[in-house]
Amino acid sequence: MRFNFLAAAVVAATFSACLVQPLAAQTAEQLTFIPAGGKSLLVNIANTKPPADELKALLTGKRSREEWVSYFKAHNQTVPALQRLSDKQRLTLADYLSFHMPLPSNQVPANLARTLPKDGRDLALDNCQGCHIITVVVTQDRTKTAWLGTMSTPAHAVIKMTPAERDELASYLVLNAGIPIEQVPEELRASGATY
Ligand code: HEC
């Protein structure tokens, strides 16, 4: 790990500042550079109005990530939105489905966006902005084991997340973090660039 004293100082400063007042929340627009999680990808597919039985099958199947990827391939004629996913998005969606499907109700809820459980991106935005800028997180390229290690350091073990949520967040970050600093809006670069 490259470690930069200045960056460490910035994290330390923002960390102590957060004891006094929370960091200013970033606007949704500033954060669009962070890739969509499985929930948004699934809602987008539902919005393309696939055949009802195809949508139901996505919400009620129980498969591993690899099985979901093959399932997408077999169904991409009937659900063209599946074809338009990039490789990374396909894995992110497959990962999400493997964590959360079948839905407990075993049917298609009326308001998907409201009903579906949080995805990895939601978990990152909800849990990883309280003490430092999200850039510190999403610019790191790490293995799943390394991410789980990061989340169990003394600074992070205190975060209220279940083991399942930590696992899901780590999986999302393996696929979607490691964002090059040039893709981060300038105002969010300060403390994330140099780890
Ligand atoms: C309770 C405050 C707090 C929250 C919330 C928090 N962090 Fe941190 N984080 C820190 C502190 C303090 C440091 C600098 C010291 C250190 O590295 O542990 C840090 C540094 C980091 C670093 C850079 C240092 C390293 O390990 O390479 C990463 C990556 C990181 N955090 C990831 C996360 C993730 C992922 C989340 C959300 C699950 C998160 N942080 C939420 C306090 C927090």
Closest approach atom of ligand 1 to CA 1: 27
Q: Is the dihedral of CA 34, 159, 163, 110 positive or negative?
A: negative
CB 178 within 8 A of CB 141: yes
- Judgement on whether residues 42 and 29 belong to the same structural domain of the protein: no
Cα–chain center distance at 84: 19
On whether residue 194 sits in a domain, the answer given is no
pLDDT in tens, the chain (195 residues): 444 444 454 455 455 444 444 456 678 888 999 999 999 999 999 999 999 999 999 999 999 999 999 999 999 999 999 999 999 999 999 999 999 999 988 788 989 999 999 999 999 999 999 999 999 999 999 999 999 999 999 999 999 999 999 999 999 999 999 999 999 999 898 754 444
Of the residues 150, 168, 179, 194, which should be mutated to test ligand 1's pocket, given the most ligand atoms within 8 Å of the CB?
A: 150
Q: For the whole model, what pTM was predicted?
A: 0.88
CB 187 within 8 A of CB 133: no
Radius of gyration, CA atoms only, the chain? 18
- Judgement on whether residues 110 and 48 belong to the same structural domain of the protein: yes
- Judgement on whether residues 62 and 108 belong to the same structural domain of the protein: yes
In 3-state terms, what secondary structure has residue 107? coil
Q: How many domains does the chain have?
A: 2
- Judgement on whether residues 104 and 45 belong to the same structural domain of the protein: yes
- Judgement on whether residues 109 and 123 belong to the same structural domain of the protein: no
Domain boundary among 90, 115, 140: 115
On whether residue 68 sits in a domain, the answer given is yes
Q: How far apart are CA 140 and CA 134, in angstroms?
A: 11
Domain boundary among 100, 115, 130: 115
| pLDDT in the model for residue 11 | 54
Domain boundary among 73, 96, 115: 115
| pLDDT in the model for residue 170 | 98
On whether residue 195 sits in a domain, the answer given is no
| pLDDT in the model for residue 24 | 60
- Judgement on whether residues 134 and 178 belong to the same structural domain of the protein: yes
Of the residues 10, 131, 172, 195, which should be mutated to test ligand 1's pocket, given the most ligand atoms within 8 Å of the CB?
A: 131
On whether residue 94 sits in a domain, the answer given is yes
In which domain, by residue range, is 27 found?
A: 5-34+119-188
